[in-house]
Each structure stands twice: as structure tokens, then as C-alpha cells.
Copies of this chain bind each other. A is one copy, B any other.
């Protein structure tokens, strides 16, 4: 009975804003029967420009909110959180927390690449989290990373193809291509929306890693391992700390479907 109740508990996902809905999309595609509670801290988005201390404090509050919804596992969909705050969060909370860094690293195992490109927000790139984990896991590897701050507003504007995104992608990615990268990690929840323009710019030879897809695969495997495959159709509840203008349009782009009813969740501070 206890086990069954646990099975039906939802997966909790939090992000600084709406970007994490691109991860929700991948999870729902792979394990549609699981229920999901999503919290987007839209009142304080973005985290990517903030300090490590502030990012950690915000993330603790986000996780506190999800725990009040009795989630069985937590996905830190925010790369800025995943690359700045994970050790402290795992020390504080006794619930499994999936980050956005490790699953992308796992996807590269057995591929024997020597040159990896990493793109993300300023905070993710400057944290060096991908670089650190890549070097810890693979020997004799070279990493070339660059922040792409304009990709986020491009995705949110819906400018995902045409001359402007292509020129911007060329400006950011050409230096990495020239270094001869064999794989490119899209280290931000917004970047999958620009997948086709990124693919066009890097060409067909470069292996593009989308961590959201890897996270979904990892959760599916993890729940099967524990025998927690649910048979009910999963629900999706979306909570935001602020309802921003134009949210429905942006959420629909990220989620690939209408987000349904959105609820406002005020954090304690």
C-alpha cells in the first residue's frame, strides 16, 4: 500500500522560469503515465545572471515548494542551479535530485570524442561545471565552451529560424567549429528550441547532445529499476511564482502543447 502510494506520487521539476518546460516535454514523451508538478520561479527569473549564493538560496526554496507536493524525485531543470548549487542541495535534502549536467556526460560515454563543445548561459559556462565533470570522466579530452546569451530571448521571441538566429548562431559557434569539436552539448533549457538552426550551422558531423532527452531517459530507467512504472495517465500541474505576460504563448512553444491551467505559487519570501 505504502509502495503503491509512492508510485503514484508525482515527479517534481523546478526551473528559474519557463525553460524547464522543454524538459517536461521530453519526460512526458518518454514516460507519459507519470504525473508531474512543475514549479517555475518566474518572479525571480533568470538565475543565470545571479551569484552562486543567490542561486543556491532560490533553489532551496523551489525544492521546499515541490516537497510540499509530495514528489518522489526532483529534477533541477535549471542549468544554472545544476552547475552551481547541487552539492549543497543534495546535502540538505534527502530526496533524489537529478541535475542537468551528469545525464549529458553519460550520453558521451563510450563515444571516445576528444573535443567537446559546451554552450549555455553565462552562469553555467563560468561555473565550469560541464568542463569539470567532463574532465573527471574522460581522459585526454579538450573542452571548448562559450556562453550564448542571445539564444534565450531568441527562443522566447520565437525567432527560431531565418537570418537573424543563423547569424547569431554562427557568431557564437564558429570558434567552436574551427576548433574541430566532435560533439556539442546544449547546456540550457532554451536551446532545444533553436535545434534546427544550430544543426544547420554546425553541420551533420557534430553530435549534438540535448540534456533534456538524456534526463528523460534516466528517469524512465530509474523508475523502472525501482518498479515504479505507473499505469495511470499522468497529470501535469504547473505552478509559477509570477504569471508573466505572454506566458501561454512561450509555454506552448516549450511544452509543445497548451499548458492548461497555470497556478500562482508565492514562496515564503
Contacts and interface: CB of A to CB of B under 8 A. Distances in A.
Interface stretch (A42-50, A97-105, A108-116): A42-50
Interface string A237-269: 000001111100000000000000000000001
A235 interface: no
A123 interface: yes
A196 interface: no
Interface stretch (A26-34, A62-70, A148-156, A223-231): A148-156
Contacts of A43: 44, 50, 54
Interface in A108-131: 122-123, 126
Nearest to A241: B54
Contacts of A221: none
A164 B171 contact: yes
A244 B154 CA distance: 22
Indicate the member of A44, A49, A244 with the most B CB atoms within 10 Å. A49
A141 interface: no
Contact of A154 (B42, B150, B167): B150
A21 to B, nearest CB: 15
Interface in A131-180: 149-150, 152-154, 156-157, 159, 163-164, 167-168, 171
B149 A153 contact: yes
Nearest to A125: B245
Nearest to A18: B49
A51 interface: yes
A244 B149 contact: no
Contacts of A164: 164, 167-168, 171
17 contacts: A42-B49, A42-B50, A43-B54, A49-B245, A50-B242, A122-B246, A123-B245, A126-B245, A149-B153, A150-B153, A150-B157, A152-B153, A163-B167, A164-B164, A164-B168, A167-B167, A269-B269
Given A49-B244, A150-B153, A164-B167, 11 more contacts: A42-B50, A44-B44, A50-B242, A51-B242, A51-B243, A152-B153, A163-B167, A164-B164, A164-B168, A167-B167, A269-B269
A-B pairs, top 9 by smallest CB distance, nearest first, are A49-B244, A269-B269, A54-B242, A149-B153, A150-B153, A50-B242, A164-B167, A51-B242, A44-B44
